[in-house]
Structure 1
């Protein structure tokens, strides 16, 4: 039973009578209906609708705990404090750890809402860890799951391009949130032409920003790469044929749960 602590994640507590309503107006996920003990996935966007950071929301009796990128925690506490105005909430950083388990899970872990089979998450696990964070990232990469802090350039892409619409990260029926207008417009148009997809390669890792080429045509751009696996923002209409990065062949995979373009 692999269990790992994610040092790349940290916790923020948002406590008080207005906690759910306050967060619901900001985040892509429905927080008003989040029950105590439930776990949901969502994001905070820029006003222009671009992806700022991903987060998990843990329902608590007195509010909500947020599982966020560790390097963004303090700035997010400040941002949320700026937004709160007269809302009756208390926002604070927590020292609690974030843990993941896959294959099986001990008591106290909740299923990761992004994809069935991905694993389970917990905050404040007291047991022993049996795997590393690197093991966890290899596991989720094998399932083609994007982790925004590692695989998506901050403030440059839209959450739908990072597959958040396919990983239960956006509630399109909840009402207003920061960046909603752009996100809803992309959804209404129906056809998403660019998505982050996993790829494999041999040899040295390509640099972030390197072009993926289909012949002489630009087909995508590398967003992360390590240990033979990477992620790239791909044009879905240019995936047929031989793909290369820096002149070396790569294999880009579109999992079954990522829809193809209608022409396919």
Structure 2
């Protein structure tokens, strides 16, 4: 997924990471969109985002042995049942879109007009969306003020191989 470094002030991070390059905040967000990594309340809306749908178990962000945290029963039951119908996935639009042109939580639709999920965040042609896994390989669209924009979703390479089935 990449790496983050905490270094002393003035230290050059490129001396630590071979083949690395120094980027800015936009580069960081575009990288995490490509990887399907959520961050903050826009990607993980409080009271709406579920930890398993947000792939937090894949990132060791959920403990199934520790007790007493909010949502523990639902998270544990869903994990042990093994059925997660929606997940946060990286998406790519067929054209670059200004992020302010997409309303928060905009609905993503299948070709037949059926709801496939919700847009969470993006920049240009990249973004992340909560999508029904059953619709991932179908043509998907997002309604924007100028019409429909086609998008494709992908399963991140870093996911466990058994998860993409």
**TM, length-normalised to structure 1:** 0.50
Closer/same/farther in 2, CA of residues 178 and 152 from structure 1, 3 Å limit: closer
Q: Partner residue of 2:125? A: 228
CA distance in 2, matches of 1:121, 1:185: 36
Structure 1 counterpart of 2:153: 252
Please name the residue that 2:108 is paired with.
212
- Once residues 40 and 82 of structure 2 are traced to their aligned partners in structure 1, the CA distance between those partners, rounded to angstroms, is 23
Q: CA deviation at 1:136?
A: 1.6
Structure 1 counterpart SS, 2:88: strand
Alpha-carbon distance, 1:196 to partner: 0.8
2:96 is matched with which residue? Answer: 203
Q: CA RMSD in A?
A: 2.0
For 2:3, which of 94, 119, 132 is the aligned residue?
Answer: 119
- Rounded to whole Å, the distance in 2 between the matches of 1:203 and 1:133 is 18
Which structure 2 segments of 5+ residues have no match?
13-21
SS in 2 for 1:232: strand
Unmatched runs of 5 consecutive residues or more in structure 1:
1-116
Moved more, 125-134 or 210-219: 125-134
More helix by share: 2
Partner of 1:9: none
For residues 83-102 of structure 1, the C-alpha deviation after alignment (integer angstroms, 9 at most, x for no partner) is xxxxxxxxxxxxxxxxxxxx
Structure with more of its chain in strand, by fraction:
1
Aligned residue-pair number: 144
Matches within 5 A, 1:24-103: none
**CA contact under 8 A between 2:36 and 2:88: conserved in structure 1?**
no
What is the alpha-carbon distance in structure 1 between the residues aligned to residue 70 and residue 87 of structure 2? 21
